[in-house]
Amino acid sequence: MNLSRTILDGIVLSILFNAVVGLFFFVVPQAYAMMFPKGIKKAAKPYVKRKELRVMHLVLYPLYLLMFMYMALSAHLVGVRDFCDLFWTGYIEMMFVSISDFFLLDVLGRIYVKDKGLIKGAENHPGWEWKEWKKLAIPEHGIFWTFLFCPLTGLIVAGIGALLG
């Protein structure tokens, strides 16, 4: 495994992911409300349109697919061929994305969105307080991403890498 390349790719993917998600949050903020804590979701639900949800999904799913392809191709071009090395490359790079997502979007983004009132129906909702927010963000990034999504990413990257030869 090429650790320096893995770290640099992790940083690049973190920047890409947060830039795309952040940009499209400003395009369709109501759709992203469905990823927020339960109280905010419930308050914003009457204002969420199916078209906005479709746009969000059309952004996120191809983004993840492109990230998986980039991870595998980058590792392949550096000469990483072993399944375990490819797995850990994908895992570590997705951990970079998870950590940056937590700090940039879940912590700093929450403060910005709360102050600007971008989500209709949830402008002054108590769910914006850190106490409520951390009930979703910390388990999501501490458990879900670490033990489910990052290993799944590692397996996907290793599988794509195995197909590349």
Q: How many domains does the chain have?
A: 1
Q: Model's pTM, two decimal places?
A: 0.91
Residues of the domain holding 102: 3-164
pLDDT value at residue 136: 85
pLDDT value at residue 109: 85
The 3-state secondary structure of the chain reads: CCHHHHHHHHHHHHHHHHHHHHHHHHHCHHHHHHHCCHHHHHHHHHHCCHHHHHHHHHHHHHHHHHHHHHHHHHHHHHCCCCHHHHHHHHHHHHHHHHHHHHHHHHHHHHHHHHHHCCCCCCCCCHHHCHHHHHHHHHHHHHHHHHHHHHHHHHHHHHHHHHHHC
pLDDT, averaged per 10 consecutive residues of the chain (165 residues), comes to 95 97 89 85 89 93 97 95 96 98 90 78 82 85 95 98 92
